[in-house]
Structure formats: C-alpha cells, structure tokens
Amino acid sequence: MSTEHEMVRQLSQAGYRVTRARRAVIRALLDDDGYSTPAQIHARARSHDPGVGLVSVYRTLDLLSSLRLARRIHTEDGCHGYASASRGHRHHLLCRRCGAAVEFEGCDLSPLLRRVESETGYAVEEHLLELVGLCPACR
C-alpha cells in the first residue's frame, strides 16, 4: 500500500517537482478509501493547504494518473472521480441513480484477454472494469 511518502518519492523520481499543492492533493486522495470527485479532493486538499486551486487539483490528478499513482473512475453521466492506485488492481460497481461506488476484487478475465490479444495482435497491459446498476438503497 502506498503512503504519501512513497507517492511523493515516485513523483520526484519521475522528475516532477513536489510542491505544497501536489502534496495536499496526494494527502486528500489518500484520505478517502473509495473514490472522490475532483471537487471533493479539492475541498480536502484545501484543509491541508488553503491556497490549493481547483486547476492545480486537476493537473495533479492527471499527473498522478499518468504515473499510475491514481486511477480515474468513470461514471455513466460522463463525470469521473479518482482513487488512489495504492490499493492495487480494483474494479468498481457504480449506482446509476445515486452515484455511489463500491470497489470489488477479483475478476478472471484471462481467457477473454488471451482471445482479444490473439484476434487483434494487441498486447493487453491493463484493463478497467466498471459495472453499472442500482445499489440496494436505490432498488
């Protein structure tokens, strides 16, 4: 599991400056076990550094995603949230009505991935799996 220190180290090793704003966004991202919208991350980041702007949050989240330190979670309405990638490979079940998200582990997509690679010639490096439905409260 990645810690703030580990994420900062990876950011620095990749050649990026570790600013107060970036540290605040990392802390805010790690403050939630699930996923958060950029606005929610912004609100939490401001508790760590009141000067953090929303643009800095978006840029930092994009950077963390490109370094595979954060994962983008897509929702059906076209919006998205982010989760720390520190918890390993996960999948998400999203409620179509209230937007709640639940992570779940385990998927054996190996046969499908092998078939796709065979048919297309691609070498699949990773995948995202998000299932959409109604949570128990909205059913």
pLDDT, tens only, 61-119: 999 988 988 888 776 566 677 877 765 566 778 888 887 777 777 777 888 889 999 99
Q: Do domains 1-87 and 89-139 have the same CATH topology?
A: no
At 31, give phi and psi (nearest 5°): -70, -20
- 76 is written with which tokens? 């059906």
Q: Whole-angstrom Cα distance, residue 74 to residue 14?
A: 26
89-139 folds as Dna Ligase; domain 1 (3.30.1490)
pTM of the entire structure? 0.68
Rg of the chain (C-alpha set): 17
**Residue-range domain boundaries for the chain:** 1-87, 89-139
Distance (Å) of CA 119 to CA 110, 125, 126, 127: 14, 16, 17, 17
Please, what CATH class does the domain formed by 1-87 belong to?
Answer: mainly alpha
Amino acid letter, residue 54: L
Query: What percentage of the chain has pLDDT greater than the value 90?
Result: 47
Q: Which of 12, 108, 23, 104 is nearest to 60 (CA)?
A: 23
